[in-house]
Amino acid sequence: MEFLVEFHLTIPPETDPAVVDARRQAETAASAQLARAGKLVRLWTVSRSPGRWRGIGLYRAVSKSEMDALLRALPLHEWMRVAVTALEAHPNDPTPEPASDVAASPSG
């Protein structure tokens, strides 16, 4: 399944900058690991201002519960408001579906 995830990150103003930096570095590492695992497909920044950030990501997970668990494990999750939308293929999508695992038989 694919999920569109919208993040609204708000860092509490009294947060120690060292804590913010450490969590951001951990978030970068977590995102890279999710990408390597095929869970994080794309990530976009929509807007950014001091202490606030809004982004959108395209994720893959086997279920909504797995998606929720992936998001709860993110180092910045405590500061995030997250909206998750499950996506389904549209019949007019110009991107072809992945090829099936069935091997073509040789002709002859």
Buried b (16+ CB within 10 A) or exposed e, 79-106: bbebeeeeeeeeeeeeeeeeeeeeeeee
The per-residue pLDDT for 99 is 52
- Tell me which fold the domain 2-87 belongs to: Alpha-Beta Plaits (3.30.70)
Which positions of the chain have pLDDT values less than 50?
100-108
The per-residue pLDDT for 23 is 96
The per-residue pLDDT for 98 is 62
The per-residue pLDDT for 108 is 45
Helix, strand, coil content of the chain in percent (nearest 5): 30, 35, 35
